[in-house]
């Protein structure tokens, strides 16, 4: 695996500017760790507002728990998940996750696993990729794992700190090494990156409104 070194001071400067601009984001939305996990599975390839609608359907059906998800007909589960898109696929993935989750002893037992063991087990679940696994680790289990998504790649590629096409693990380890193991920092940083990339650092960026424009070599 390629090794990538990122400048810690630069990363912390970006973080502070985003925090000063947007304020604390209080992520991830969810009342319980299990709700956060469900949201992480459902947010693949869709906007968060659609995930919220699907979760509301589960809550209204008294189905936001792994036992109910595993016993209900898959067609019914898919119907509840319809707002999140790709609902048939997501119904299968959510059931796969819940089956593993129950067999592993659910949150109380899993919370005692070390991070590497837990991450390896999550990645072995059919339908759980690195980003989803790390969302679960960071937001549900409060582990110091830096989540890499398309927004992170876009923002820091424009800063010239990454190419943007590096492997997931290369980028994750580079951010973790530069920033140190800090779950609270990683939580807030990822949420701020998402907020900024959705509003300002878009595919077609609004550079004139960007709080990072003085630092960014790609400003237009």
Domains of the chain: 33-140 (1.10.340.30)
Q: Is the pLDDT of residue 220 over 70?
A: no
Residue 50: predicted pLDDT: 97
Q: Is the pLDDT of residue 1 over 80?
A: no
Residue 150: predicted pLDDT: 96
Q: Phi/psi at 171 (nearest 5 deg)?
A: -70, -45
Nearest 10 degrees: Cα torsion 56, 22, 10, 156: 50
Measuring CA to CA, which residue among 66, 68, 75 is closest to residue 37?
66
Measuring CA to CA, which residue among 57, 12, 65 is closest to residue 38?
65
Q: How confident is the model at residue 218 (pLDDT cuts 50, 70, 90)?
A: confident
Proportion of the chain in helix, strand, coil states, percent, rounded to 5: 60, 0, 40
Query: Mean pLDDT, to the nearest integer, of 127-143?
Result: 98
Angle between helix 33-42 and helix 48-60 axes, rounded to 10 deg: 130
For residues 25-56, one letter each, b for 16 or more C-beta atoms within 10 angstroms of the residue's C-beta and e for the rest, the string is bebbebeebbbbbbbbbbbbebeeebbbebbe
Dump pLDDT digits (tens) for 163-191. 999 999 999 999 999 999 999 999 999 99
pTM for this structure? 0.95
Percent of the chain whose predicted confidence (pLDDT) is above 90 = 96
């Amino acid at each position: 695996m390629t090794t990538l070194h990122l400048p810690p001071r630069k990363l912390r400067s970006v973080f502070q500017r985003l925090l000063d601009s947007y304020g604390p984001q209080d992520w991830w939305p969810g009342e319980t760790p299990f709700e956060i996990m469900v949201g992480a599975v459902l947010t693949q390839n869709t906007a968060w507002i659609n995930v919220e609608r699907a979760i509301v359907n589960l809550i209204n059906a008294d189905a936001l728990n792994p036992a109910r998800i595993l016993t209900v007909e898959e067609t019914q589960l898919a119907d509840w998940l319809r707002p999140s898109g790709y609902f048939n696929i997501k119904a299968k993935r959510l059931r796969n996750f819940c089956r593993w989750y129950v067999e592993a002893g659910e949150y109380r037992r899993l919370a005692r696993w070390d991070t590497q063991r837990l991450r390896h087990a999550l990645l072995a679940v059919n339908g759980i990729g690195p980003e989803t696994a790390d969302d679960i680790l960071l937001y549900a289990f409060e582990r110091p794992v830096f989540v890499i998504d398309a927004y992170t790649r876009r923002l820091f590629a424009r800063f010239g700190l990454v190419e943007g096409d590096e492997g997931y693990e290369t980028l994750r380890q580079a951010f973790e090494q530069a920033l140190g193991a800090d779950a609270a920092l990683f939580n807030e940083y990822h949420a701020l990156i998402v907020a900024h990339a959705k509003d300002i650092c878009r595919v077609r960026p609004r550079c004139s409104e960007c709080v990072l424009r003085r630092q960014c070599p790609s400003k237009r």
